Structures are given as C-alpha cells and as structure tokens.
Chain A
Amino acid sequence: MEFDDELKLSRREFLIVGATSVAASTFPSVLNAQPVPEQPPLVSKASFTVNGKLRQLDLDARTTLLDALREHLHLTGTKKGCDQGQCGACTVIVDGRRVVSCLTLAVMHEGHSITTIEGLGTPENMHPMQAAFVKHDGYQCGYCTPGQICSSVAMLNEIKAGIPSHATGDLNAAPQLTPAELRERMSGNICRCGAYSNIVDAITEVAGRRA
C-alpha cells in the first residue's frame, strides 16, 4: 500500500489494515502484545463456533481467545484493554457464560460456542441490551461498551439461575435485581468515563422487560 492511500483511510480502517499486515510481518505492534518469537512458534489447531459459524484456525498456542477473535477472525468489536483480566473490555460469552477472553488460550476452546458483541446484534437489528445502552447513554468513549454489554447480558442470566453475589442478602433466597446487586456483579467491567449510573439504568430496563 502506498503512503498516499493510507492517508485517505479513516483511523478505524487504518487500524484494521494495520492489524492485518502485522500478521504477515515480523515486526511487533502495539495491537499485538505477543513478543517476537525467539523460536519458531508451536502451532496448534483450534476449532470453535463464533457467532454461530464454525471457525478452524492454525494458531501459535500462545494466542489468547481475545487475539484469535481480533487478529485472526477480525472481530474487532471485542476490545483489548488491560490484557490482564482487570478491565473486562474483552468480555465474551462462551457456552452461555461470560469470561474475559484475554486470560484464556484459544486452543482451550475446542468445540465451544463463543458469542461476541457482533453476534449479539447488528446496527440494524440491535440486541435489547445494545438498544438500552444507546437509549440511556451508557457510555462516553465506548471502548468498554462491547464488554459491558456482553457481560450484562450473561450477568442477567446468572441472576435468573440463582447464582449469588457478594451483594446477596439471603444466600438461600433468589437474588434480587437491585442496583447494589447490578453494581457488584458488573464490577469486572471498568468504565473509565464513569458512565456507571447510565449503565445501571440500561441494564435495569432490560432486566425489567424480561421479568
């Protein structure tokens, strides 16, 4: 690609192109935190379903599920924040349960069914949680939003399944849908812009609709 062509691209397009070209080069990138291999990478096969589609990949065994989704499948809706399990931006749903995709290897998900933000809804046909985040302005910069939405969708199912939290009063009763419960259960998703109160409003609306 010529430099002039690059200038015409939007920043978002440039990032996507940049990520693609990195895969074919030996230069490290801020987008790909894995260091340059000191020995030829040990390749493993991984096959799992992503948003209903079977995907088969030959991967360096070190590839996290997050990097497999973003760098290999180009599903960049899932975000890399801290890459150490503290921020929740990379939250996806695996076999119905929310996990942080940065702290798990892609090869550990043989046969699993993975849902990312792209699988929950589209701009034309949004998931109710996506619509509620838009309606309640549950974000500012939006970087944590895909993780917040995947997390909250799975979290409501955890409440429904009777899974207790630190905010649950009576361990032997069904957990309640209080703001304190929602805040505690969403503590693994950090929003640096501080949109928390609007996020709670969005989740509360969806939870109320389902109940």
Chain B
Amino acid sequence: MKSFTYERASSPAAAAAAAANIQNSKFIAGGTNLLDLMKLQIETPAHLVDVNGLALDKIEATPQGGLRIGALVRNTDLAADARVRRDYAVLSRALVAGATGQLRNMATTAGNLLQRTRCPYFYDTNMPCNKRVPGSGCSAIGGFSRQHAIMGVSQACIATHPSDMAVAMRALDATVEAIQPDGSTRNIPIADFHRLPGDTPHIDTVLKPGELITAVELPKPPGGTHVYRKVRDRASFAFALISVGAIVQKDGTGRVALGGVAHKPWRAEAAEAEMPHGAKAVTARLLAGARTTHDNAFKVPLVERTLASVLAEAKEMKS
C-alpha cells in the first residue's frame, strides 16, 4: 500500500472541500473495496478523508412518502430496516444477495454505489486494462470474458458494475444526493449516475472531483410484488453472472432492472411495456443490440429464462 495522509472530516462540506483541495484524495467509509484495491496499488490515494464520523447514517421518511437513506447507512441496516423490508423488498433482497455478513456490516450505501468493477483484468496489474491504466488496452476483449458485459460495451472496456444494491435502486428510481466542494448540492437520478465505458472507462460515475454522496432517496413505495434473483457460480458470496430485480403489479405491468450485464445497472423502460407479454418479449427489447463474446453469449438466454422464472414467482407470490 502506498503511503497517504489521513484526516477525519468534520462535515460533509468540509469533506468535499478537503477532497477537492488535496490532489489525489479519496473518501473512505466502509473501506471494503478501497482498501483491497489500495493493497494491490490499483488505487493509490495520497490523502484519505474518513467520512465515518459524519451524521449520515439515518433512514428518514420524506415529505413525498419515500425514504431518504443516509450515505453511511450500512448495508446490513438498510436491508434490515422494517420500512425497506415491507415497502422496498427488492432492495432488501438485493442487499442480502451480496457479499457476506461481515462485509455488509461495514459497507455503506454510498460506497456500494461507488464499487469498482470485479473484472479480473482490472485486478491483475500485470495485464493491460483501460479502466486501471487509461490507454493501456483491454485484456478482457479477446481474453476470458465469461463474467463480462453484453450491453453498452465499448472497444475500450467490457467490464460490469458489480453491485446488487444498485440494480434494486435502479428499479426503484432512486435519486443520489451529493454535495459539491463549494457546499452546493445536487440530485442525480440513479439512471444517470453510472456511466457507460465509452472511451473513458476509468471514469465510473458522473461525480465530480471532491463531490460527496450524502444520501440516496427512494420515491414513495411502488407497490407490487418484489423479486430479486441472482444467478452466480456459488450459492453465496459470489458476484452475479446476471441478476434480475423486478417489481410486478397485479395487472402484469412492472419494472425490470438487470445486474451483471453492463457497466451500470441495466434497465430499459420501453422494454417494460412488454411485461404483460412475458419474458421473451421483454428480453428481446431489454437486450436489443447485445454485443456478446464467445464466453458470455450465454447471458442472453440466461436473462430470458431467469426473468421467466422471476415473473412466474411473482405471479405465485401474488396469488
């Protein structure tokens, strides 16, 4: 691990200002992803701003009937919150499908959104990776790409975003609240928060240098039946090959977001018009234009079959 200076932030605005003023700063909260990457010298911050002392660990009801989840709410606490379990079950289910008990006790809501990819070539510092070293090339394209993205990919990167939580947040139309170094705040719809790789895969999100996530807001409960299904190589503690987060209403309409297929949680509102017509019709539109490799072409039929299973389960849960 490279040496760094360390400070404990006194307020969200002070944290953002410190991170903007000191070159190569990083916020640290749970640390479960950042420290792992620092040990491998994939992340080499010169300064760490510890935000754990900030009072951003509450889940509060909003005047609009939704929930405002503080950036520092731990994954365990978010999954266990009675309101989340009752009204946003897809989020609880997604959270407990990820990581382990120990990691969920540490990992925060904001940190979960800011996870870096788990592409093995991003982790292997002996291999070219445009996300780790811009311009060095992509080892996954032409390499072993079984885990990689099939939607929104570029010539520079086919990495996926590893979060389960973010998939549920996308299905729930969450909004990310952030504070700038000058103290002003802005709200970013979750759909716009993560970027596609394009020519700059080293930039994961639209956050600006120093910008700090303070909360994630959920709109009022969407109702319906909530299902999160994760397909992976092990029954527990493994990243998704693909995952499906779905909210299905009584009349068969609803929402579907996918994990494990793109550089961001993947959702296409236009495809959801097909929900009453079943999984085949939805998948055809949701994965239109898919660019697969020899190794990950299985993800297209896997999404369709998993979605069919999810829709059947939702139907059963309703009756």
Contact = CB atoms under 8 A, between A and B. Distances in A.
Interface of A: 33-35, 37-39, 41-42, 44, 60-62, 64, 83-86, 88, 91, 97-100, 102-105, 107-108, 110, 151, 154-155, 158, 161-166, 168, 171-172, 183-188
B126 interface: no
Interface string B85-108: 110010011001101111101100
A164 B102 contact: no
B100 A104 contact: no
A83 B28 CA distance: 18
A185 B237 CA distance: 10
B171 to A, nearest CB: 16
A97 B48 contact: no
B6 interface: yes
B253 to A, nearest CB: 23
> Of B48, B89, B236, which is in contact with the most chain A CB atoms at under 10 Å from its CB?
B236
B32 interface: yes
Contact of B85 (A42, A108, A172, A183): A172
B192 interface: no
A100 B102 contact: yes
Interface residues of B, number: 37
Nearest to A180: B235
Interface of B: 1-6, 8, 28, 30-32, 35-36, 39, 48, 50, 52, 76, 79-80, 85-86, 89, 92-93, 96-97, 99-103, 105-106, 235-237
A99 to B, nearest CB: 5
Interchain residue pairs A-B with the least CB separation, the first 5: A188-B100, A187-B236, A61-B6, A163-B80, A171-B85
A99 B143 CA distance: 35
A38 B46 CA distance: 13
A88 B100 contact: yes
Nearest to A96: B105
A84 B32 CA distance: 9
B35 A103 contact: yes
Contacts of A171: 85-86, 89, 92-93
Given A35-B1, A44-B6, A187-B237, A163 B76 contact: yes
Contacts of A165: 96, 101
A127 B68 CA distance: 40
Contact of A99 (B1, B39, B50, B105): B105
A83 B89 CA distance: 33
B27 to A, nearest CB: 12
Contact of B102 (A62, A183, A184, A188): A188
24 contacts: A34-B1, A38-B3, A41-B3, A42-B3, A42-B4, A44-B6, A61-B6, A62-B4, A100-B102, A100-B103, A104-B30, A104-B32, A104-B35, A105-B6, A108-B50, A108-B52, A163-B79, A163-B80, A164-B80, A164-B85, A171-B92, A187-B235, A188-B100, A188-B101
> Of A41, A84, A86, which is in contact with the most chain B CB atoms at under 10 Å from its CB?
A84
B32 A103 contact: yes
Nearest to A162: B80
Contacts of B96: 164-166, 168
Contacts of B237: 86, 187-188
Given A34-B1, A62-B1, A83-B39, A172 B6 contact: no
Nearest to B95: A164
A104 B3 contact: no
Contacts of A104: 30-32, 35, 106
A44 B4 CA distance: 11
Given A107-B50, A108-B31, 6 more contacts: A33-B39, A103-B32, A104-B106, A151-B101, A158-B76, A171-B85
Contacts of A62: 1, 3-4
B102 A99 contact: yes
Nearest to B100: A188
